[in-house]
A and B are shown apart, each in its own frame.
Chain A
Amino acid sequence: TSKMAAPARKTVEFFYDVLSPYTWLGFEIMCRYQQKWNIDLKLRPFYLAGVFKSSDNRPPAMVPAKSQYMGRDLWRLADMYKVPFKLPSNVIEVLFIKGSLNAGRFLTAVDMNCDQYLEELTRQLFLRIFYRDEDITEPASLLSAAMKAGIPEDLAKQLLSTIKDQTVKDRFQQTTQAALDYGAFGAPTIVAHVDGKPKMFFGSDRFELMAHMLGEKWHGPLPELAKAKI
């Protein structure tokens, strides 16, 4: 009997910054669909502030009515998707002042050295900022997230010491540029490679369309496959 080769997995690149609340929701959905779709999910930590600057865009919540709506929208979506979610108590300080440069570089260092931990470290950082209202900028914060992600302490400390190295900075910048080259202007930026062509999607609300283009089926938010437990 001849063995049919399994159809090749389609690569889906997920460009993200842990500073973006909608990205937290999209990240959880995307991780659940790794088990359902014939895809090879590549997590690509990038620098949203850099993307905004290069594309001459601004964070979305500069319009008061829109900002108010987004708070409700995020809560409703998180509730339906069963993703643990709470906005930080000082949104301006967390999202616009403290930023995510160290977190992004740390994720990059993990991606470069031990990417088997990248998904869980990403999750732990998102839970810090968008569930427990905890810092993600200080070394102690990053270390705590790393250990909750299962990274051995000495490895975590060693990677933390490299986040200002040129190799890590360069890789972080390259990932950000790759997203910009795909046409990114915000987060998440998801690039599904279909028939050798990259299809870029912006936002966490294009999964049904993405399923259609991947030749897969959309089953909704799949809360039963949730990895982040409340």
Chain B
Amino acid sequence: MADADKKVIELFYDTISPYSWIAFEVLCRYRSRWNIDLRLRPFSLAAVVTETGNSPPGRVPAKLKWMGKDLMRQAYFYKIPFRGRKDPNNDMANKHNINVMLLLTAVTMDCPQHLESLTRELWLRFWSREEDITQPASLEAAATAAGIPADQTAALLAKLQDQTVKARLTKTTQEALRHGAFGAPTIVAHVGGKPHMYWGSDRFLLIADLLGEEWLGPLTELAHL
């Protein structure tokens, strides 16, 4: 298959978002089934929410309760080891921060071959093992677990506050906003020379239809975890 035929799919995601994890795993699995070129685009969900006047979904108690159940059911259905957190609202506000997305941005710039594995490791830390991801030592541990060599890890951590990295994260986030993003995950499928934006991890049937592909279900046999 010529690469030129592959349809570009951009996944704008933030590791604070559990539904983004579902979209991430599904799209990673579908790379081997659909004729697509998957581009991972770490962005800042906090910035998107603020910019669009949106609010986090967990504001409504009954909705937060349902989302917990929904995520556990989907985790089981898709074979993703999501285990939730004891206090998700508090932890999303206080135990996740922009440094995580800056690190992923730096990886995108300097060693993109590690982007998928580091992204997965960060989700596992935050949403599966309820481990810290705010301390430099935690980010270092995640990078190591993702297979990034020690010297590369040190260089990445040293540049998190660089203007170039912040500018890149801002640019990616603004691209998502230009596509009409207001939440995460935001998926942009480029078909017929036009971008088609989808929000959430529950539009794969529509995306398959747009791509002229078939939805084959959760493809748990291709699970990376």
Contacts and interface: CB of A to CB of B under 8 A. Distances in A.
A80 B211 CA distance: 13
- Report the contact-size class of chain B (Cβ under 8 Å from the partner): 20 to 34
Contacts of B206: 76-77, 80
A55 B52 contact: no
Contact of A66 (B65, B69, B182, B198): B182
A159 to B, nearest CB: 32
B149 interface: no
Given A65-B181, A183-B65, A183-B66, A55 B60 contact: yes
B81 interface: no
Interface in B179-195: 180-183
Interface in B194-225: 197-200, 202-203, 205-206, 209, 215, 217
B181 A185 contact: no
Interface in A61-114: 63-66, 68-69, 73, 76-77, 80
A55 B57 CA distance: 13
Interface residues of A, number: 30
Interface string A8-37: 000000000000000000000000000000
A66 B66 contact: no
B182 A63 contact: yes
Contacts of A56: 60-61
Given A66-B52, A76-B206, A185 B217 contact: no
B65 A64 contact: no
Contacts of A64: 52-53
A224 B219 CA distance: 26
B213 to A, nearest CB: 13
Given A56-B60, A57-B63, A202-B66, A212 B209 contact: no
Interface stretch (A127-135, A136-144, A203-211): A203-211
Contacts of B181: 65
Interface string B69-109: 11001100100000000000000000000000000000000
Contacts of B209: 80
A213 interface: yes
A228 B198 CA distance: 26
A220 interface: yes
Contact of B63 (A55, A63, A66, A69): A55
B54 interface: yes
Given A55-B61, A66-B182, A200 B66 contact: yes
B53 A69 contact: no
Contact of B62 (A66, A183, A206): A183
A185 B202 contact: no
6 contacts: A57-B63, A65-B177, A66-B52, A73-B198, A200-B69, A208-B217
Interface of A: 55-57, 63-66, 68-69, 73, 76-77, 80, 180, 183-186, 200-203, 205-206, 208-209, 212-213, 220-221
Interface of B: 52-54, 60-63, 65-66, 69-70, 73-74, 77, 177, 180-183, 197-200, 202-203, 205-206, 209, 215, 217
